[in-house]
Amino acid sequence: MHMISIRTFNEQGLNEFERIIGQIKNNELKNIPDELLFNEYFSEVCEPIINIEKVDYKYKGELVPYLVEKLNLRSSKYLYFDKGLWSWLTAIYFDNICPIDGNGSRKVNEAAFYVLRDPKNYTKYYRHLLAYPCRLYSELDDSSKIFLIGNFSKRGEITEQFGAYQEIALNKGILDAANIMYWDDSTKNLKRGAAGKGAGSARRLVRIIRQYQLTYDLNSMSGNEIVQLLPQEFSKWGKPVYRVSGAV
């Protein structure tokens, strides 16, 4: 087993990583050079030293828990916003996060998916394919499972809709309500139709939750309690949902 000491990019490393991402996107380069990953000019070993394995995890549900555990992230929340750390981790696991397809190319998205942005700019911060799901899993454990579906190449409708609003993505009760309705334990995936745009969909849930946040203290409510507030359109998911006065 080959272990690697986790490193963190400095400013030169962050800039070079972003430049290389652009080259890969333009098919001018295929892989992340070892020089970027391990050269002292671009990065330094983190202290205290943490060793990781170059695991072949393609799915978020595998790699995210692995890194949360290795980083002891639940006790090291200050790492959530470490741009150098998460960008380097994305570079070292680039084959997992942005694999080469059957045509020998990589589907590269905008740089914010790989190079962590300033957390004060939440609309960019939450796009990071590694830092953001690791933070959610660290904070919410099993309640975050709807964010950890599939591989890294597709962010998915749930991540786009729920993740766009920090007060929703980090609210355990709201995510538990979503899991109660949309999660299928038999397939370990979303129920068919949950990621659509129609009545009772996740997109509709976000819209209604944002309105409820103006009148209800959702932070103090459980997932089941939130489900009970929802209008009749959500009863299609087989849960006892009762319309309340003033519901949308």
Q: Do residues 160 and 106 share a domain?
A: no
- Look at residue 92 in the predicted model and tell me its pLDDT: 98
DSSP label of 6: -
- Look at residue 239 in the predicted model and tell me its pLDDT: 55
Q: Is the dihedral of CA 142, 230, 154, 92 positive or negative?
A: negative
Residue 68 belongs to what domain range? 1-118
Rg (CA), the chain: 20
pTM value? 0.90
- Look at residue 1 in the predicted model and tell me its pLDDT: 60
Q: Do residues 31 and 100 share a domain?
A: yes
Residue 138 lies in a domain: no
Q: b/e map of 4-33 (b: 16 or more CB within 10 Å)?
A: eebbbbbeebbebbeebbeebbeeeeeebe
Q: Which residue has the tokens 């299609």?
A: 236
159-165 mean pLDDT? 87
Residue 42 lies in a domain: yes
Residue 246 lies in a domain: yes
Tens of pLDDT along 110-150? 999 999 998 888 889 999 999 999 999 999 999 999 999 99
- Look at residue 248 in the predicted model and tell me its pLDDT: 43
DSSP label of 49: -
Q: Quick check: 202 and 182 in contact, CB under 8 A?
A: yes
- Look at residue 171 in the predicted model and tell me its pLDDT: 96
- Look at residue 17 in the predicted model and tell me its pLDDT: 98
- Look at residue 151 in the predicted model and tell me its pLDDT: 92
- Look at residue 244 in the predicted model and tell me its pLDDT: 44
Last residue of a domain, one of 118, 145, 172: 118
Residue 34 lies in a domain: yes
Q: Quick check: 180 and 216 in contact, CB under 8 A?
A: no
DSSP label of 5: E
Tens of pLDDT along 51-96? 999 999 999 999 999 999 999 999 999 999 999 999 999 999 999 9
97-118 mean pLDDT? 93
Tens of pLDDT along 3-28? 999 999 999 999 999 999 999 999 99
Side chain identity at 219, as an amino acid letter? N
Q: Do residues 4 and 101 share a domain?
A: yes
- Look at residue 238 in the predicted model and tell me its pLDDT: 65
Question: With pLDDT > 90 as the criterion, what percentage of the chain qualifies?
Answer: 79
Strands (E), the chain: 3-5, 7-9, 43-45, 51-53, 183-184, 189-190
176-184 mean pLDDT? 94
Q: Quick check: 93 and 63 in contact, CB under 8 A?
A: yes
Side chain identity at 77, as an amino acid letter? K
Q: Which residue has the tokens 């892989």?
A: 31
Q: Do residues 68 and 176 share a domain?
A: no
Q: Do residues 160 and 114 share a domain?
A: no
Host H or E run for residue 44: strand 43-45
Residues 6+ apart with CB under 8 A from 28: none
- Look at residue 147 in the predicted model and tell me its pLDDT: 93
Residue 111 lies in a domain: yes
Residue 55 lies in a domain: yes
Q: Do residues 110 and 162 share a domain?
A: no
User: How many independent structural domains does the chain possess?
Assistant: 2
Tens of pLDDT along 38-49? 999 999 999 999
Tens of pLDDT along 190-216? 998 888 888 999 999 999 999 999 999
